[in-house]
Chains A and B, each alone.
Chain A
Amino acid sequence: MTDFGSMLFVFVLATFIGLGVIRRVSRLLYTPLMSLTNAISAIAVVGSIVVTGADHPLTIRILGAVALFASMTNIVSGFLITDRMLKMFKKQ
């Protein structure tokens, strides 16, 4: 089923890319960085959509809907507050 070899491969490479990119992030922006990565990792929403929307038993779909709500909240508040904070950083 799960091709776990290639999944592990993706995980290791993505972690290295992450370490490389995050290391270069401006120290001024650690707070918005955290809200941005939080919004991005709410990509878990795609898992919730499948659990909620497919033809599953009711209890399963309720679990999915709560998860979908939680992820969606993170996406909306995460991106909005990141932008709100970044707008404030002015050079002069």
Chain B
Amino acid sequence: MHLIGELSAVLATALFIFALYWMNDPKTARRGVIAGVTGMTVAVVATWIQPEIIHHGWIVGAIVVGFVVGVPLSQVPLTAVPQRTALSHAFGGLAAGLVGTAEFFLSLGEPAKAAVQLTPFRMSALVAEVILGFLTFTGSLMAAGKLQEVRWIPQRPVTYPGQNVVNIGVLVIAVALGVMLVLNPGAPWAAQAFIAIAVLPLIFGVLLIIPIGGADMPTVISILNAYAGLAAVAMGFVLNNKLLVTAGALDGSSGLILSIIMCRAMNRSFTNVLFGAFGKAQPAALKGEQKEWKQETVEGAAQLLEQARNVVIIPGYGMAVAQAQHKVRELYDALTKRGVTVKFAIHPVAGRMPGHMNVLLAEANIPYSALVEMDEINPEMPQTDVALVLGANDVVNPAARYNKGTPIYGMPIIDADKAKTVLAVKRSKNPGFAGIDNELYVLDNTWMLFGDAKAVLGDLVKQFGSGGIH
């Protein structure tokens, strides 16, 4: 039996690595899912057939409920994928925290075993598992709530004096209790200390996310991803399970890489995202001459687009909110048919999670060869006839290049302003999520189209369809 367990773990590990390897190309990526499912099935079956497993009804019950909840969760609209992802990090953290708690009380329950089982190493892993698991649980729930715009969770960052001291204090107490427990695992107060170690991170997770705004969500989701992976690694250490350690390490390194990419794309550090409270109220713009926007009509915009040789569309979260991706496809078709080259410029942090824009545009059947990364599109921007900004804001704000007073200073942006003409579709005349005025909108070559992105695009497409333009 032991041999079967070891061999299946090796097989599952190999399949998981292949699953991630195949994600390097959209052509092979679906193979990755098959490899992942196979690896998971092998590992579950090999564990289940162990002779010590006797309560099969319980396992079947939990698996059935998992399916009942999991299948609808996989059918959410793609605009809701960020909150589904956050929710799944929460579930991963919860599982790790609960298994850690169960393992601790199992070892503590039998004093004869406690001394042997609660070695300093295993106890440290238990503490790490529970702290990481539970802080990921509540932190991700809060993130999911903010993304879902649940009413009683404030969307705007909430800050108060001494916030970081309180947050770090809560975590430091939990870690200090953990160290005491590692040194005296058999102490009479061990159970109480452990409960405190479980509860404090639950509080910390909530406190950690309260000061974070929507624009930081891609980074925060990636960091929580890394935590969830590390919690699984710690669980592997506790259970002496190499497969768990490997899978957790793969998840953790993925979260780490995505976090680094997201942070670089915003020119910020981890600590700055977590403790810097983005989106604080901006001091009122001190500009002497307030420039005015110039509004363009739909007819005029359609004419500009039709006369262009190449058009770059820059989508942002506003496109997702307005559910405008299918209208984008219609515009793409209408322009392509007229011989206009259309490309999409994707900023790494556009949307609410890494890769969000790509998925939304793929859903609308836009070929992925038309989706271009920021670094590749920027050199082409000066030769672009029309840049169409669609619900993007901070990622095209030229102030990021030189204005040290703005929180987005230093953030790499898509050079929309360098295009010959800029058309910007914007829902309202208010500033974007970060609360910053966007200089792009008042440039000489910029024309504004105010309105809901879906409605504006619908009107634009009609101009092409009804023969309004010849």
Given A3-B240, A69-B65, check contact A10 B245 (CB 8 Å). yes
Which residues 37-92 of A sit at the B interface, judged by CB distance below 8 A? 37-57, 59-61, 63-92
Which residues 1-37 of A sit at the B interface, judged by CB distance below 8 A? 1-4, 6-7, 10-11, 14-15, 17-19, 21-37
Residues of B within 8 A of A (CB): 12, 16-17, 19-21, 23-27, 29-30, 32-33, 36-37, 39-40, 43-44, 47-48, 50, 52-56, 58-59, 61-63, 65-67, 69-71, 73-76, 78, 81, 84-85, 88-89, 91-92, 94-96, 98-99, 101-103, 105-106, 109, 116-117, 119, 121-122, 125, 221-222, 225, 228-229, 232-233, 235-258, 348, 353-356, 358-359, 362-363, 365, 367-369, 371, 373
A53 touches B48 (CB 8 A): yes
The number of residue pairs between A and B whose CB atoms lie closer than 8 Å in the complex comes to 371
Q: Which 10 A-B pairs have the closest CB atoms?
A: A72-B66, A76-B70, A30-B355, A18-B253, A80-B74, A41-B251, A14-B249, A53-B53, A31-B355, A30-B354
B99 touches A69 (CB 8 A): no
A75 touches B102 (CB 8 A): no
B92 touches A41 (CB 8 A): yes
In the bound complex, residues from chain A placing their C-beta under 8 Å from that of B56 are: 53
Given A54-B52, A60-B102, check contact A71 B95 (CB 8 Å). yes
Residues of A within 8 A of B (CB): 1-4, 6-7, 10-11, 14-15, 17-19, 21-57, 59-61, 63-92
- Closest residue of chain A to B229 (Cβ to Cβ) is A41
Given A74-B88, A88-B362, check contact A21 B20 (CB 8 Å). yes
Given A7-B237, A53-B58, check contact A32 B355 (CB 8 Å). yes
**Contact pick for B98, options A7, A28, A64, A88, CB 8 Å:** A64
- Closest residue of chain B to A14 (Cβ to Cβ) is B249
**Contact pick for B232, options A27, A44, A85, CB 8 Å:** A44
Given A47-B239, A84-B74, check contact A28 B94 (CB 8 Å). no
A32 touches B21 (CB 8 A): no
B55–chain A nearest beta-carbon distance, Å? 5
In the bound complex, residues from chain B placing their C-beta under 8 Å from that of A76 are: 66-67, 70-71, 73-74
A23 vs B355: C-alpha distance when bound (angstroms): 14
Given A76-B70, A77-B84, check contact A82 B99 (CB 8 Å). no
- Closest residue of chain A to B36 (Cβ to Cβ) is A40
**Residue among A25, A34, A39 with most chain B CB within 10 A:** A34
B237 touches A18 (CB 8 A): no
**Contact pick for B88, options A7, A38, A48, CB 8 Å:** A38
B250 touches A29 (CB 8 A): no
A86 touches B29 (CB 8 A): yes
12 A-B pairs (CB sep. < 8 Å): A15-B249, A23-B257, A26-B25, A26-B29, A30-B358, A40-B20, A40-B247, A42-B40, A50-B53, A53-B59, A75-B70, A76-B67
B250 touches A31 (CB 8 A): no
A53 touches B359 (CB 8 A): no
B40 touches A72 (CB 8 A): no
A78 touches B99 (CB 8 A): no
A80 vs B348: C-alpha distance when bound (angstroms): 25
In the bound complex, residues from chain A placing their C-beta under 8 Å from that of B221 are: 34
Given A32-B29, A40-B16, A76-B66, check contact A66 B251 (CB 8 Å). no
In the bound complex, residues from chain A placing their C-beta under 8 Å from that of B355 are: 27-34
A64 touches B102 (CB 8 A): yes
In the bound complex, residues from chain A placing their C-beta under 8 Å from that of B54 are: 53-55
In the bound complex, residues from chain B placing their C-beta under 8 Å from that of A56 are: 102, 106
In the bound complex, residues from chain B placing their C-beta under 8 Å from that of A60 are: 102, 105-106
A87 touches B23 (CB 8 A): no
B336–chain A nearest beta-carbon distance, Å? 11
**Contact pick for A77, options B39, B71, B362, B367, CB 8 Å:** B71
In the bound complex, residues from chain B placing their C-beta under 8 Å from that of A71 are: 66, 91-92, 95
Given A30-B258, A53-B48, A56-B106, check contact A37 B53 (CB 8 Å). no
B243 touches A43 (CB 8 A): yes
**Contact pick for B70, options A23, A44, A65, A77, CB 8 Å:** A77
B36 touches A11 (CB 8 A): no
- Closest residue of chain A to B124 (Cβ to Cβ) is A4
B11–chain A nearest beta-carbon distance, Å? 13
In the bound complex, residues from chain A placing their C-beta under 8 Å from that of B235 are: 44, 47
In the bound complex, residues from chain A placing their C-beta under 8 Å from that of B58 are: 52-53, 61, 64-65
In the bound complex, residues from chain B placing their C-beta under 8 Å from that of A17 are: 17, 249-250
A8–chain B nearest beta-carbon distance, Å? 8
A88 vs B39: C-alpha distance when bound (angstroms): 24
- Closest residue of chain B to A45 (Cβ to Cβ) is B44
A10 vs B101: C-alpha distance when bound (angstroms): 24
A83 vs B36: C-alpha distance when bound (angstroms): 11
A18 vs B256: C-alpha distance when bound (angstroms): 10
In the bound complex, residues from chain B placing their C-beta under 8 Å from that of A69 are: 62, 65-66, 69
